[in-house]
């Protein structure tokens, strides 16, 4: 029997898809920040390298240990989210960061990782198919950090935790009748949800329906984003040659709307290439889940895949104007150190599940 080898045991399609997306991020970031702050591209490169190193380190640790660490991470994340509400750094009207030794950290990214671990661990010790009791208990584990994130306010990230829970619960055997009942309950609660939304969140939903309602205010970014993507046509305007981004017509072009820059400079083909890379990434994640006979590893892999897939779909959908703007970054592409490292750690966990899990 061959001794364990990290290089041989890695899921290389998964790894290469992640590396390609990070490289696209750095190239697009260089262009998007040229007239904004060139140092941001350098920082993104440093975080990408740190993320890859973290991924390889995590992949070397058996995933049951990582899940155990996730339980403590969950408590730390909840404490950090409480700290954000009390003394968080406010950016763009929301308190989502804590500053430690000069570094801004986003606890919601840790919460995504930790919540996935905690939910997978809880569901794995239940008898499948799960019932209402298990649904409520697992949902309560998600509700605590999700509520704290919502209060920042950050509606987008709070819904990511819901996607993580849904992925794990679905694979754990949530009955279809129960799933239908939950969907009906959510629809019934929509009027109540509208009442608890902040004014700017309501405005975003109205602008989604009709950007012309406030073309110079809340609707400005999405209008400019659609113009940016459309101007790229088939092959794009060329790297660093996009007028919308270089002339600063597009706000937040380095963060949530970096995919718009890709569309303008690399065109339809470049945009589709990003979609295909995410498709490859999520397919390999689900393949790892499918091949693992251990419930804990299978649920965790599915939860992480749900996280990445959901964020990718929501971000690309909102920059194209087919989904409301909820402030969700594009994984491994949008600017952000906490998000970049957390996503690479998620890939490292998946690699660990592949290496140390029991296969069918």
Whether residue 3 is contained in a domain is answered as no
Using omega within 30 degrees of 0 as the cis cutoff, is the peptide bond preceding 153 cis? yes
Whether residue 6 is contained in a domain is answered as no
pLDDT category of residue 36 using cuts at 50, 70 and 90: confident
Whether residue 7 is contained in a domain is answered as no
Whether residue 10 is contained in a domain is answered as no
Whether residue 237 is contained in a domain is answered as yes
pLDDT digits (tens, 9 = 90+) for 259-289: 999 999 999 999 999 999 999 999 999 999 9
pLDDT attached to residue 28: 95
359 versus 316: the higher-pLDDT residue is: 316
Q: Average pLDDT for residues 66-74, to the nearest whole number?
A: 94
pLDDT category of residue 310 using cuts at 50, 70 and 90: very high
Q: Say how far apart CA 124 and CA 102 lie, in whole Å.
A: 39
| E strand map for 145-289 | none
pLDDT category of residue 98 using cuts at 50, 70 and 90: confident
Q: Average pLDDT for residues 52-66, to the nearest whole number?
A: 96
Q: Say how far apart CA 132 and CA 142 lie, in whole Å.
A: 15
Whether residue 156 is contained in a domain is answered as yes
- Assigned token pair, 10: 């890695």
Whether residue 221 is contained in a domain is answered as yes
Q: Which domain holds residue 153?
A: 16-356
pLDDT digits (tens, 9 = 90+) for 169-216: 999 988 878 777 777 777 776 667 667 777 767 777 777 777 776 676
Whether residue 105 is contained in a domain is answered as yes
Please say if the pLDDT value at position 316 is more than 80. Answer: yes
pLDDT category of residue 35 using cuts at 50, 70 and 90: confident
- Assigned token pair, 352: 């660990």
pLDDT category of residue 357 using cuts at 50, 70 and 90: confident
- Assigned token pair, 324: 């409301």
pLDDT category of residue 1 using cuts at 50, 70 and 90: very low
Number of structural domains in the chain: 1
């Amino acid at each position: 029997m061959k001794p364990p080898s990290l290089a041989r045991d890695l899921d290389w399609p998964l790894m290469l898809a992640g590396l390609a997306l990070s490289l696209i991020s750095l190239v697009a970031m260089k262009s998007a920040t040229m007239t904004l702050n060139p140092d941001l591209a350098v920082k993104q490169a440093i975080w990408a390298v740190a993320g890859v190193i973290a991924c390889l380190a995590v992949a070397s640790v058996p995933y049951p240990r990582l899940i155990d660490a996730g339980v403590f991470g969950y408590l730390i994340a909840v404490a950090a989210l409480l700290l954000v509400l009390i003394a968080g750094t406010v950016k763009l009207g929301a308190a989502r960061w804590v500053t430690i030794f000069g570094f801004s950290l986003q606890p919601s990214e840790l919460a995504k990782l930790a919540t996935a671990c905690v939910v997978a661990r809880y569901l794995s010790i239940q008898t499948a198919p799960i019932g209402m009791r298990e649904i409520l208990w697992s949902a309560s584990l998600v509700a605590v950090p999700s509520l704290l994130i919502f209060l920042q306010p950050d509606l987008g990230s709070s819904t990511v935790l819901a996607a993580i829970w849904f992925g794990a619960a679905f694979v754990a055997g949530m009955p279809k009748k129960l799933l239908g009942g939950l969907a009906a309950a959510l629809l019934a609660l929509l009027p109540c949800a509208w009442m608890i939304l902040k004014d700017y969140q309501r405005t975003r939903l109205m602008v989604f329906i009709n950007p012309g309602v406030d073309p110079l205010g809340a609707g400005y970014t999405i209008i400019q984003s659609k113009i940016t993507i459309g101007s790229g046509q088939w092959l794009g305007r060329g790297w660093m040659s996009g007028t919308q981004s270089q002339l600063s017509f597009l706000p937040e072009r380095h963060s949530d709307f970096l995919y718009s820059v890709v569309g303008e400079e690399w065109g339809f083909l470049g945009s589709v290439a990003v979609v295909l890379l995410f498709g490859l990434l999520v397919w390999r994640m689900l393949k790892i889940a499918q091949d693992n006979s251990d419930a804990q590893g299978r649920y965790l892999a599915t939860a992480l895949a749900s996280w990445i897939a959901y964020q990718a779909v929501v971000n690309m959908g909102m920059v194209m104007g087919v989904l409301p703007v909820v402030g969700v970054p594009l994984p491994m592409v949008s600017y952000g150190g906490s998000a970049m490292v957390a996503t690479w750690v998620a890939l490292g966990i998946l690699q660990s599940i592949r290496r140390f899990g029991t296969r069918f």
